[in-house]
Amino acid sequence: MTSPDPAAVGRRRADEFLALLGADDDAATALLDGLTDVRDLVFVGAGLTAIARAEARALPPAQRAQANTRQERLGSVRDANRSNPAGLRTWLRQAGAEIALIRSQQAVADRVNAEAQERTATRAAAEASGTAAASSAATTT
């Protein structure tokens, strides 16, 4: 029997950690505290980094650039704690918070896009029926 792929195990633990964050913070902390091997912590971090980078790609340009900067800062935290399990757990908590932030920013962006599409559809329907709002009519001075 072959041993499980450490990257796959790390990604599974990252998903589990994210599911626990906010819902059961004590369980999320227990999950990280249960990982004592630096290698295991780093694989969870790799999973969180992959999730954060993938989800940040869907953000509007300004938020995406900010997320990239925060990812670089998280890399510095990771590098500063290479052989320190407690420091790596701090890095993982910060990475989880980063993903929560990215998700909240994406929710706002989605809501703004939906509202803009609704306004566009309403305006197009009004123009098609000949009842366009007076504010959208061209004026001359």
Give the separation between CA 95 and CA 48, rounded to whole angstroms: 6
Give the separation between CA 68 and CA 46, rounded to whole angstroms: 15
pLDDT of residue 127: 85
CB-hemisphere CA count at 13 Å for 11? 8
**Mean pLDDT, the chain, whole residue set:** 90
pLDDT of residue 117: 85
Q: Residue 32 — pLDDT band, cuts 50, 70, 90?
A: very high
| Structural contact between residues 92 and 48, judged by C-beta atoms closer than 8 angstroms | yes
Domain extent listing, the chain: 6-102
Give the separation between CA 53 and CA 49, rounded to whole angstroms: 6
Q: What pTM, to 2 d.p., does this model score?
A: 0.80
Q: List, for residues 48-66, the tens digit of each pLDDT value.
A: 999 999 999 999 999 999 9
pLDDT of residue 135: 52
Question: Is the per-residue pLDDT at 137 higher than 70?
Answer: no
Q: List, for residues 91-132, the tens digit of each pLDDT value.
A: 999 999 999 999 999 999 989 988 888 888 888 888 888 775
Radius of gyration of the chain (CA): 22
User: pLDDT over 70 for what percent of the chain?
Assistant: 91
Question: Is the per-residue pLDDT at 134 higher than 70?
Answer: no
